[in-house]
Amino acid sequence: MKKIQLIVSLLFVSVVNAQSLTDGQLRGSIEIDAQTYRHDSLIGAPAVPEKMGLNSFAQLDYTNGKISAGIRYEAYENALQGYDARYNGQGIANKYLRFADSTIDVTVGDFYEQFGSGLILRSYWQYQLGVDNSIDGVRLKYNICKGISVKGVIGHQRYYWGEGAGIVRGVDGEINLNELIPHWDTIKTKIILGGSFVSNYQVPDNTTYNVPGNVGATAGRISINNGGFSFYSEYAYKINDPSVVNNYIYKPGQAFLLRTGYSTKGFSFSVSGESMDNMSFKSDRTATKNDLDINYLPTLPRDETYQLAQIYPYATQPNGEMGVDAELRYTLPKESVLGGKYGTELDAEVSAINALDTTNLNDLNTNRLGYSVNYFGVNSEIYFNNTTIELKHKFSPKFRMILQYVDEAYNKDVIQQEVGYQIVHCNIGIFDGYYRIASSNTLHFEFQELLTKQDQGNWAFGMAEMNFGSNWFAGLLDEYNYGNPIANQQIHYYTITGGYTKNALRVSLGYGKTRSGILCVGGVCRQIPASDGFSLSLTESF
């Protein structure tokens, strides 16, 4: 507590003197999200005793020359439904002091960091998901010479209003060959190499298993670019890390990523592949869900933008998965027969993610390695198959549209950890239109339909949103589960919303019903319970 008060005091002194320090800059941001809750047994909205929830934060950063400091105050009174109740309360969630010049960058306090793709270290804050695994400790970044940089971190991760049990230590180095080697800065091929090592120490206090106190992970990566060609690959290895997530098996973890592609104006093609095996890496072996993740396992499919396509989003499976993804983009030129006056954009993406090809070793009473993996085999168990085709066309300066078709197979049992759904097959059609009525009035409208014979059956979605001038907006949307096999579950989830936006200020007020489901960002997800009530959102920065 003394440390916090000291930093806050330092910041306060800086702020008070801000006007007298010509180079000092003060920046801040505020967000408030509130929701009222009405019990609605039909949609499954629970009775919430406090009747409303509120998530909010205010961030303040002060920079003067090479020194910067900041704090973030968070308040959850109580946390919105779907966020972990352990956030309930308020206080300073993040504070730091930093010195940075062109050679050295030192941070003391809470910070976010990522090595490579994050396969062995990524601390980040995703407010929408309720994820904050910041590291409270010390970070040092050092540019040894042009083309070579290293960074090191040490500290404990945030765990709601406390800190995780483990001490996270990590180093990362990166070499940009084109900057390092004389005369290579002019050659067309750009090559970057990187490597990192991360270790977590937690007292080995498990009474059942002989667990390692130190768990180490290492990763190497390479990036090559030449004109329109790009290539990125990363491999990570983690030693045995028995934990609740992997049922205390002693098998080492591995992850492999590969992305390559070619692009030129009007055309691009990319292919990605990945294999993840037992790569959950947390700073507490008893942690579950999104708690205390040291690393981040990226997902191949893109984040879905449209409402009905978000009903079945993919979540990365840390215990194991193997997948490929290919995407083709092509622009039919302007003033051509098919492209029309303004050109037409086509986009096709195919993703296939299956379980790893494993063999159960039946050794849970002996070595506890759990299973072996054939990395060159393909397991027939589908996790996620998706084909998306999108067409964008502008008809005139007033009217443009996006058409999208999605064919999806979704293993709901695995991805949402449910029982009895197995593979849900669905087809989704989307029409997204923008019509400019006047110079600053635009009507945005969407029609979507999801067809499936499984789970909750067919859905339809309609939305109309109007912008009045440059500051005001109002919208009405309805998500209708018309194909639900249970007659009284054929429900309209309607929402009416309106708001005001100017510069960095955005205020919106809504009323309506929200269906239950999961929200995913980059393969990391949280549950969204059904709700019925008013919502208020305010964001501002300065």
Partner 1 sequence: MRQYRIAIALLFCGAYLCAYSQDMKGNKVPAVAIKTMNGILSNTSKFSNNGKPMVIDFWATWCVPCIMELNAIADKYDYWQKETGVKMIIVSVDTVHNTTTVSSFVKNKGWRYDVYLDPDKSFQEAMKVMDTPCTFVVDGSGKIVWMHNSYNEGDEDKVFEELKKITAK
Phi-psi region of 482 (alpha: psi -120 to 50; beta: other; left: phi over 0): alpha
- What does the alpha-carbon distance between residue 216 and residue 490 come to, in Å, rounded to a whole number? 51
Find all residues with CB under 8 Å of 522, minimum gap 6, and list them. Answer: 296, 298, 299, 303
Q: How far is the CB of 36 from partner 1 (least distance, A)?
A: 23
Please name the amino acid found at residue 426.
C
N- to C-terminal Cα separation, the chain: 28
Q: What six digits make up the tokens of 295?
A: 């690393």
Shorter beta-carbon distance to partner 1: residue 257 or 530: 257
Q: Quick check: 56 and 22 in contact, CB under 8 A?
A: no
Shorter beta-carbon distance to partner 1: residue 37 or 473: 473
- What does the alpha-carbon distance between residue 522 and residue 299 come to, in Å, rounded to a whole number? 6
* Exposure of 462 in the CB half-sphere (CA atoms within 13 A): 3
- What does the alpha-carbon distance between residue 87 and residue 291 come to, in Å, rounded to a whole number? 12
Q: How far is the CB of 319 from partner 1 (least distance, A)?
A: 19
Q: How far is the CB of 289 from partner 1 (least distance, A)?
A: 20
- What does the alpha-carbon distance between residue 78 and residue 153 come to, in Å, rounded to a whole number? 33
Shorter beta-carbon distance to partner 1: residue 368 or 392: 392
Q: How far is the CB of 165 from partner 1 (least distance, A)?
A: 25
Q: How far is the CB of 217 from partner 1 (least distance, A)?
A: 17
84 to each of 37, 58, 290, 291, 413, how far by Cα in Å? Answer: 17, 20, 10, 10, 22
Q: How far is the CB of 16 from partner 1 (least distance, A)?
A: 8
Shorter beta-carbon distance to partner 1: residue 277 or 347: 347
What is the number of H-type helices and E-type strands within the chain? 3, 33
- Nearest-CA neighbor of 357 among 329, 342, 338, 377? 377
Q: Check residue 47 and report its DSSP letter.
A: P
* Exposure of 497 in the CB half-sphere (CA atoms within 13 A): 24
Shorter beta-carbon distance to partner 1: residue 284 or 408: 408
What SS3 state is found at 157?
A: strand
Q: How far is the CB of 522 from partner 1 (least distance, A)?
A: 5
Tokens 């009222």 locate to: 36
Looking at the DSSP bridge assignments, the partners of residue 324 are 273, 352
Q: How far is the CB of 443 from partner 1 (least distance, A)?
A: 10
- What does the alpha-carbon distance between residue 431 and residue 217 come to, in Å, rounded to a whole number? 46
Q: What six digits make up the tokens of 195?
A: 């490597």
Shorter beta-carbon distance to partner 1: residue 176 or 411: 176
Shorter beta-carbon distance to partner 1: residue 400 or 425: 400
Shorter beta-carbon distance to partner 1: residue 45 or 255: 255
Q: How far is the CB of 23 from partner 1 (least distance, A)?
A: 8
| Phi, psi torsion values for 414, nearest 5 degrees | -80, -50
Q: How far is the CB of 178 from partner 1 (least distance, A)?
A: 8
Shorter beta-carbon distance to partner 1: residue 60 or 294: 60
Shorter beta-carbon distance to partner 1: residue 225 or 490: 225
